[in-house]
Structure formats: structure tokens, C-alpha cells
Structure 1
Amino acid sequence: MGILSRASYVIRSKLNAVLNRAEDPTETLDYSYEQLRNELQDVKQGIADLTTQKKRLEIQKRRLEENVEKHNEQARQAVKQDREDLARQALEKKKQKMTQIEELETQISQLQSQQDQLVEQKNELQKQIEQFRTKKETMKARHEAAKASKRVNEAMTGAGDEMEDVNRAIERAEERTEDMEARAQAMDELRDDGVLEDQLSDKSSLEKELDEVQQQGAVDAELDTLKAEMGKGEEPEPETDTESTGTEDLSESDLEQELASDGDVDVEAPEVSDGEVDAELEELKDDEKTS
């Protein structure tokens, strides 16, 4: 195979592949059906033209037959008048007309045969067209059903071009959302660590640091005052009897637990009678007088 032949073959194969991809079976079937109908119309038109031609020959034949009768009558009249020459002329014309009639009959017979053949072909073609129309509609229905099933399967599996675009859009949206969430978490972490300043605050980082030092100093001063009031200075406080004071010192762990609870624990108060309250009140009065 030469270079030109190979190039021509490759071009034809590529063109055929492009045409196959671009071809719509339903449109092809409709076009073929229209072509068959056009052919049927051409056959009908041919039958009509042939019939018209045959009718013209038949009309011409009838006229010749009328002329034959006319020439025959003329020959009779000439014989009655003893005009043999005129009778001969009339008979000659009669003979010519009869020869033409025979030729016309032959042509009419041929046209009739052609007409019968065209009518038979027309009926056969019309039958084929009806069968093709039924097959065409069936094939179109099958094609549409197959195409719908293909779209449904592609939509369910995500294999179609449109679903691929949708999946890509979802992936891009997820990536952007994850990036925004990661950035938001990073900004929160930096703001908590003090790396980033609050843009809504009118204080600088130095002022914030001074406020924190001042607040810490106020807490230390209040703690020293509390220690001084309770006699918890640098000198150790002598041990006291818990029974004489009537109070019990809290251990360090108990104190931490009490501070952690913030004193918000609800305790149900026991019921106390009025007599007990009066007796305790009289006791307090006697102790006050004694002191």
C-alpha cells in the first residue's frame, strides 16, 4: 500500500469515526423513512405520467377509428356515384388510418404493461414503507429507552460527563470549606496564644501586658492583706486548740475543694423547733452577762 493510499485510508477511517459519533440513530431512521416516501411519491408521479400518455394515445386511436369509419363511408358514396377514383382515395386513407391504429394499439399495450408493473412496484414499495415505519418507531422507542437507562445508570454511578462536573464541583467546595475551617482554627489558636492582636481593641500589646501586671499586683496585695488579718505572716502562728475556739481548721485539700466548688453547693437545712431556738438564745444571753 502506497503512502497516498494509506493516507486516504486513515482519513476515511477518521472521518467515519467522527460521523459515527455525530450520527443520531433516530434522525437517521426518520431521514431514511422520508427518502422512501419520496421514492414512493416519485413512483406515483411516474404512474400518473404514464397513464396520461396512455390516455392521449387512446384518444388519438379513437379519432383514427372515427376517420376510418368516415373514409369507409366516403368510399361507399363514391362507388354509388361511379367515382372509382374517389373510392380508391378514400380506401387508401382508410388503410393508412388503420395502420396508425395498429401502431397506437401496440404503444398503448406497452404503456399498459409498464403501468401495471409500476403499480405493482408501487404497492410493494408502499408495503415496505409501512413495515419500515413500524420498525422505525420500534427502534426509536428502544433507542430512547436505552438512552434514558444510560443516563440513569450514569447518574447513579457518577460516570456521566454532567455528574463528573458535579462531583468536581463538590470536591472543590469541600476543599475550599476545609481550607476556610483550617484557617479559622489557626487564627483562633494564634489569637489565644497572643500572637495576633485583637483588631477591635484600642489597646496596644504593651498596654495589655501592663494591665495584666497591674491586675496580678492587685491580687498579690489583697492576698498579703488577707494573710495579715489572719495572722499568717512570716512568723509561724502558735497552734490553737480546736475545741476552745469551737471551729475546726480545714486541710489544704479541703480548702482547695471548697474553693473549687465556689460555695454554691445547696444543702438541705434540717428542721429546728422553736423551743430549741429559744433555749440556744437564752444560753447566748447568759454567756454575754458572765463575760
Structure 2
Amino acid sequence: MTFTSRLRVIFRSKASHTLDRLEDPREALDDSYEQLVAMLQQVRRGLADVATAKKRLELQGQEMGARHRRLGDQAQEALTQGREDLARTALERRSLLEGQVASLRDQYTALQQQQERLQANERRLADRVAAFRTEKETIKATYAASEAQARANEAAAGIGSEMSDVGVTLDRAKDRVAQMKARAAATDELLASGALNDLTAPPDDDLERQLSSGATRADVERQLQAMKDAAAGGTPSGSTGGATGATAGGTAGGAAGNGPDGWLSIGRGPAAG
């Protein structure tokens, strides 16, 4: 795999992870829940504003009611004192005040009805927010469990983007190992043939290596010939001693003794008589 191909695989993997996070339904549910909570807070603020305005009208109506009673008392007191003109003035002001109270009462009634509607909306929205929160957490838990199960199944089956990356990395490592083994074997052959010089070897080491190889081949040929002579079993009487000696030498050189220290005799010739 080339460097560009590796970069392409890495980029696709990172981009896929980023898109998965952006498309995570859990985040979408959290966003929707936050929007509902913001709407509920807005309704509650409106309800508080309406209740405040209603309270102000209520206080103003109480003041008007107190003035209305005071004007009635003043009109009665003026008649008692024989001041009909003052009584008339007090009654005229009380009549004007009654019109203002009627208008204020209409506003107060409208605010009271608006407050009742906002309270009903607030209760419904609060119930909806609570139900959505429960459903949201249930969906998120189900999604998390399903995601974990899917990842476990993908890992067990060897599929999925993560396992694909692992597979690519493993194949690349195997290629590198095979390439290095081939290079090591090739350089060994070149050193053995003398095409490459081992700078760390002592002088004339190539000659020693070739002589040792020749001696090994000669020893193998002698043991092979001894095994052939022993298998033939029909050697002439004049050469019986030589064949026996060759067979004994091959046996001594190719097999170990039966004792626990028999391995010490591997590759050694027959003991001197």
C-alpha cells in the first residue's frame, strides 16, 4: 500500500467517525429536549409577567375601591352639614370613578383569563417535557446498548471500520516482514557466494568458509557411501574390514550413545582402541 493510499484510508476513517458523531441521535434528542425546556421557561416567564400585571391592577382596584367608599362618606357628610353642592361634587366624582373601575375590572378579568390559559399551557408543556425526558433517556440507553452490541459483533466478525484498519495494518506488517526475510536470505546467499564482502569478518574468512563447506560435503559423501555399503550386505571378503570400519565410523559419526551423556558422542569418530 502506497503512502497516498494509507492517507486516504486514514482520512476516510476519521471522516466517518466525525459524521457518526454529528449524526448521533442522542445529541439530536438532547437538543430537542433543551428546546422544549427553553419553551417551558419562556411560558413561565410570560406567566410571571401576566401575574405581575394582574397584581398591579388588583392593587389599583383596591385603591379605587377605598376612594369610592371615601367619596360616598364625604357626600353623606356634606348632606348632613347642609352642603348639597359638596355632596353633588362627591357623587359626580364617585360616578366618574365607577366608570374607571369598570374599565379596570375588564382589564383585570382579561388578565385573569390569560393567566389561566398560560397556567394550563404551562402544565401541559411541563408534562410533555417530563415525558420527553423519560422517553429520551430510554432511547439513548437503547441506542447505547445497541451500539455496544453492534461494535462487539463487528469485532467478533472482523468487520467495521476499526477492524478494517487493523486488517490493513496487519497485512502491511506481514508484507514488511516477508520483504525483510527475503532481503536477509538474499544477503546471506550473497555473502556465502562471495558476491558481498563481510567487513566484520577476519581476513581470508571466505577461504575458510569454502574449505569448511567442502569438508562437510566430503564427510556427508563418506557417510552416505558407508550406509550404501551396509545396505548392500554383499561386500567381498577382502574388503570386509574396510566396510566394517566405514560402517562403524558412519554409525559413530551419525548416532549418539544410549546413555544420558550419549549426546557428547554426536559427530565424533570411533574411540581409539
TM-aligned CA distance change 1:76 to 1:249, over 3 Å? closer
Q: 1:249 to 1:42 in 2, by over 3 A?
A: closer
Instruction: Specify the alignment match of 1:164 in structure 2.
Output: 164
**What residue in structure 1 maps to residue 31 of structure 2?**
31
Gaps of 5+ in 1: 1-17, 217-241, 243-247, 268-291
Tell me what 1:289 maps to: none
Determine the structure 2 residue equivalent to 1:257.
Answer: 247
Structure 2 unaligned segments of length 5 or more: list them: 1-17, 216-236, 259-273
Q: What pairs up with 1:207-222 in 2 under 5 angstroms?
A: 208=207
2-structure distance, mates of 1:26, 1:93: 67
Per the alignment, residue 277 of structure 1 pairs with none
Provide the C-alpha distance between the structure 2 equivalents of 1:82 and 1:262, rounded to a whole number of angstroms: 161
Matched, 1:119 2:93: no
Q: How do residues 12-31 of structure 1 correspond to structure 2 at under 5 angstroms?
A: 22-31=22-31
Q: Separation in 2 of the partners of 1:142 and 1:256? A: 83
Deviation, 1:90, is 0.6
Q: What is the distance in 2 between the residues matched to 1:106 and 1:80?
A: 35
- What's the CA shift string for 1:116-157, capped at 9, x where partnerless? 111011001000011000000011111111221222223223
1:202 maps to what in 2? 203
Once the two structures are superposed, residues 211-266 of structure 1 have per-residue CA deviations (whole angstroms, 9 ceiling, x without a partner) of: 95xx99xxxxxxxxxxxxxxxxxxxxxxxxx9xxxxx7536543432342358997
Structure 1 vs Structure 2: percent identity of aligned residues?
39
Q: Compare CA radii of gyration and give the structure with the larger one.
A: 1
| Deviation, structure 1 residue 187 | 3.0
Q: CA deviation at 1:70?
A: 1.1
TM-superposed deviation, 1:169: 1.6
Coordinate RMSD, CA, aligned: 3.1
* CA distance in 1: counterparts of 2:21 and 2:150, whole angstroms: 16
Aligned pairs for 1:211-290 within 5 A: 250=240, 253-262=243-252
Q: In structure 2, what is the Cα distance between the partners aligned to 1:266 and 1:152?
A: 58
Q: How far did residue 51 of structure 1 move?
A: 0.9
Distance 1:249-1:107 versus aligned 2 partners, 3 A rule: closer
Shift of residue 198 of structure 1?
4.3
- Map 1:59-70 to 2 at 5 A: 59-70=59-70
Q: Distance in 2 between matches of 1:161 and 1:132?
A: 33
**1:149 maps to amino acid:** Q
**CA distances 1:60-119 after superposition (whole Å, capped 9, x unpaired):** 111111111111111112212222211111100011111111111111111111111110
Poorly superposed stretches of 4+, deviation over 6 Å: 18-21, 263-267
Give the letter for the 2:251 counterpart. S
Distance, in Å, in 2 between the alignment partners of 1:154 and 1:266 is 58
1:92-171 alignment, distance < 5 Å: 92-171=92-171
- Counterpart-to-counterpart distance in 2, 1:53 and 1:20: 49
What does 1:58-97 correspond to in 2, within 5 Å?
A: 58-97=58-97
Q: Which residue pairs with 1:232 in the alignment?
A: none
Mapped partners of 1:29, 1:51: distance in 2 = 33
In the alignment of these two chains, the number of paired residues is 215
